[in-house]
Amino acid sequence: MKTLTRRSFVKGTLVCGATAAFAAPGNEPHAVFPVEARARIAVATYPFRAMIAAPGNKDRDPAKPGMDLGSFARFIRTKYDVHGIEPLSTHFSSIEPLEIRKLRAAFDAAGVYVVNIPVDDRVALCSEDAEKRDAGNARYRRWIDIAVTLGSPSIRVWIPKCSDTSDLPKAVRALKPTVDYAATRNIVVNLENDDPVTASAERTLAAIQLANSPYLRALPDFGNGLADGDERVNAQRVRNMFAHAWNISHVKDAETFDGQRRTASLPELFGIAKASGYRGYYSMESDSEVDPVIDTKHLVEQSLQLI
């Protein structure tokens, strides 16, 4: 998924100094993930952003048919026979507790479950203003609570943006209150390699290693490493990310950067995931200027053969 600037059927049951661990050793997140291939597949709302009707969705195209998250859940269930959904934060019509409970009921009625919530809220965790820092962590706590209500094992956030981007320990410390709270609720916080500068695979993994917490994990994306690398470089980045992944990865076999379409090998990337021992979900995230309805069908069919 692009950043704000650039971009199963059996349901999984959810029952700092720079080097200081966020959580005590042995305190691991727990969930029961499905093993059947189709049950491990999800569809992200991001590729369908032009069709998602929500107040915070600036990518909505009124010329295209619209649907809210409940309708989208029914759509993927009917169109792809897929039961996992990955709803982007800006695609929620409301985050009020009552509305989130209604959304959970709509997902349950559709036979769909949430595998991860990518959170694109603008927060200032590195601010010198304590009130702004507190507000940012409070916002993330709200999404962690939403994840609990919706049965999602995780949320995805960004590495905090500090004025001195070289001070990664400061960014990691800024995220600590969010990760600590997530641990109390058995929710994992994922970081994605989504920007070749601020959220490269290398920087993302360095942040995870600094935090040294089982509740801060990697979200490997099959194509994001193509932004500034070829297929070989991308594959190595995916391999490195899977070493720290837990429950979610993004599947695509192409990405478009500056009008140029770059491809990746799904067989190779699924092979990397298997070799790592990964047991989580695969979320289809078409992102190559191809009709997402058609491309998602292609990705689902290929994934079923390769998982």
Q: What is the pLDDT of residues 102-159, one digit of tens each?
A: 999 999 999 999 999 999 999 999 999 999 999 999 999 999 999 999 999 999 999 9
pLDDT at 4: 37
Half-sphere exposure of 281 (CA within 13 A, CB side): 31
Please give the domain boundaries of the chain with CATH numbers for all domains: 41-306 (3.20.20.150)
Handedness of CA 136, 150, 294, 39 (dihedral sign): positive
Q: What is the pLDDT of residue 92?
A: 98
- What is the pLDDT, as a whole number, of residue 280? 98
pLDDT at 181 over 60: yes
Model confidence pTM above 0.85: yes
CA distance linking residue 92 with residue 115, whole number of Å: 15
* Spatial CA neighbour of 118 closest among 44, 65, 42: 44
Tens of pLDDT, residues 235-291:
999 999 999 999 999 999 999 888 889 999 999 999 999 999 999 999 999 988 889
